[in-house]
Amino acid sequence: MNNAPMVEGFVHPNEALAAEQRYRALLLHIEGAGVAFRCLAHPPCRSSVESAAARASAGAPGSIGAKALILRGAAPIRFVMTVLPGMHKLRIDRVRAVIGKFRFAQTDEILEVTAGLEPGMIPPFAAPVFPAIGGLIVDELMFSFPLIGFNAAHAQRSVVMSGTEYAKLVPHATVTGISEAM
């Protein structure tokens, strides 16, 4: 933790550098898989609604947000990420059918397993991007969208790609229906 005074809009240089490093590591992972994608720069976002609007303004109207939620389950897989359309809510009963008892990860746990990423900045991946997240459950709808978007380990950057390209990045995910429209 830094000792810089809390000033609205101030980002400590070390935090900015760490965010940039996480962003570049994510891009290397995506590029290494050979999938087609675009990067977008936009104002900071704190919600799915803000992110969708920012991506639309940055050149990706109609992209469906990939909402990444981190859950804490029982051993042997302690943390699991679920990915669902941003305009949907998680069906807890369906997730329990896959992993059993769980709870939503707390902010300090999220920071720990994502190397400091805050909720809203987390891209929809488990290991190897986030080695401490041992499981990934993706809603089956995610692969059907022509364009999905997600924050790219950075509050001011997003990645957009087709659902079929995203599927190539998560070949070991459990794919099932885990969401419903709000």
CA 55, CA 48: separation in Å to the nearest integer?
10
Assess contact for 66 and 169: CB atoms under 8 A: no
Residue 150's pLDDT is what?
94
Domains of the chain are: 13-181 (3.90.960.10)
Structure tokens that stand for 42 in this block = 């936009």
- Structure tokens, 18: 């760490």
| CA 58 – CA 88 distance, rounded (Å) | 23
pTM of the model: 0.88
What is the pLDDT tens value at each position of the chain, 182 positions in all?
Answer: 344 444 344 444 555 667 778 888 899 999 999 999 999 999 988 777 888 889 999 999 999 999 999 999 987 779 999 999 999 999 999 999 999 999 999 999 999 999 888 888 899 999 889 999 999 999 999 999 999 999 898 888 899 999 999 999 999 999 999 999 98
